[in-house]
């Protein structure tokens, strides 16, 4: 079982439009409403693969009730933490060329009691021998200090759990001191963590090595259209996949992390699964998570020959 923790979940509305014009009336050609948040998306991808998952998340108001309802409809067990504030609602606008415009709300302001209840719920739901991974994902809502993830990692390790962490900024740097087993930054988050731009694949590899020196057991770095890099104690691998059409990249990184954990959470086989899941996700509308029928493992290449001088399609500043 994979347990996910999403401190700042959302209700996500995605609109597909022919083109986005500022100040104009734009008529959507497609619309989706999905439960959102990085950890929620990991749970959705795990469930789509036919595996058991439990989602721990604070929920409040009508949007929170709808998030719980949508998750249950997808076969995901929900361990809700009631909060006074309403769960945030986010909007994404997807254009045919793959351009995605996102409007993310800040979310509720959690009290100290609600923050502690969230930690306690993770402890209560975790079952040694049954929980394969605790996956902590996304931004922290107002009211939670940057050290909150570090506290969660420390408590999880104290009961023998393995932690996969997908966050950024001060929360990531604080958590590294508690040695999470896997961290999954994208290129921008990786650049921010090491404090310098990343221009090539080699730059990303060096930055991942630095995160390992700072405490990460393994670093699974998403480089967008350029692929993914895995750096751990056993070595370094580069994975990429052929993608014909990009419809939406919402949740693609979360799908990748799910694929990585489903395949064991380490080594080239897990990297190949991560790349396949990420490539499948970007070819689906909105934040739809891929199932086994959507994967194309034959389109994935994983190698120890790192193309260090290859420029990143989107350099990270």
Residues 58 and 108 sit within 8 Å (Cβ to Cβ): yes
Give residues with Cβ within 8 angstroms of 277, minimum separation 6. Answer: 45, 255, 256, 258, 259, 260, 290, 295
Spatial strand order of the sheet with 218-222 comes to 77-82, 53-59, 2-5, 133-137, 163-166, 182-183, 218-222, 228-232, 235-241, 300-303
Distance, CA of 215 to CA of 175 (rounded, Å): 9
Residue 260 φ then ψ, to 5°: -65, -45
Alpha-carbon separation of residue 74 from 34, 185, 251, 279 (angstroms): 11, 27, 16, 22
Distance, CA of 31 to CA of 92 (rounded, Å): 10
Identify the helix (H) or strand (E) that includes residue 273: helix 267-281
Asked if 12 is an active-site residue, the reply is no
- Beta pairing class for 300-303 and 235-241: antiparallel
Q: Using the Cα atoms of residue 118, residue 121, residue 127 and residue 131 in order, give the sign of their dihedral.
A: negative
Which of 203, 244, 254, 294 is labelled catalytic?
254
Task: List active site positions.
Answer: 254
């Amino acid at each position: 079982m994979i347990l996910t923790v999403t401190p700042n979940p959302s209700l996500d509305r995605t609109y597909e439009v022919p083109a986005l014009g500022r100040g104009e009336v734009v008529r959507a050609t497609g619309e989706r409403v999905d439960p959102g948040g990085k950890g929620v998306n990991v749970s959705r991808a795990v469930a789509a693969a036919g595996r058991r998952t439990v989602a721990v998340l604070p929920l409040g108001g009508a949007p929170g009730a709808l998030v719980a309802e949508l998750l249950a409809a997808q076969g995901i067990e929900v361990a809700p933490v009631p909060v006074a504030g309403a769960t945030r609602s986010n909007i994404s606008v997807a254009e045919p060329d793959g351009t995605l415009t996102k409007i993310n709300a800040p979310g509720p302001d959690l009290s100290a009691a609600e923050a502690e209840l969230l930690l306690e719920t993770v402890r209560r739901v975790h079952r040694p021998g049954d929980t394969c991974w605790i996956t902590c994902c996304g931004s922290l809502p107002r009211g939670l200090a940057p050290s909150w993830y570090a506290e969660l990692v420390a408590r999880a390790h104290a009961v023998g759990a393995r932690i996969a962490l997908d966050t950024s900024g001060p929360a990531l740097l604080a958590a590294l001191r508690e040695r999470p087993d896997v961290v999954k930054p994208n290129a921008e988050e990786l650049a921010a963590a090491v404090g310098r731009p990343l221009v090539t694949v080699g730059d990303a590899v060096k930055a991942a090595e630095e995160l390992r020196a700072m405490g990460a057991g393994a670093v699974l770095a998403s480089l967008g259209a350029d692929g993914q890099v895995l750096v751990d104690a056993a070595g370094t691998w580069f994975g990429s996949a052929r993608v014909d059409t990009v419809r939406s990249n919402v949740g693609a990184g979360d799908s990748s992390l799910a694929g990585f954990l489903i395949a064991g959470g380490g080594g080239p086989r897990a990297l190949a699964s991560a790349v396949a899941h990420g490539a499948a996700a970007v070819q689906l509308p909105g934040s739809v998570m891929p199932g086994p029928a959507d994967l194309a493992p034959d389109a994935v290449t994983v190698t120890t020959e790192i193309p260090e001088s290859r420029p990143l399609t989107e350099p990270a500043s």
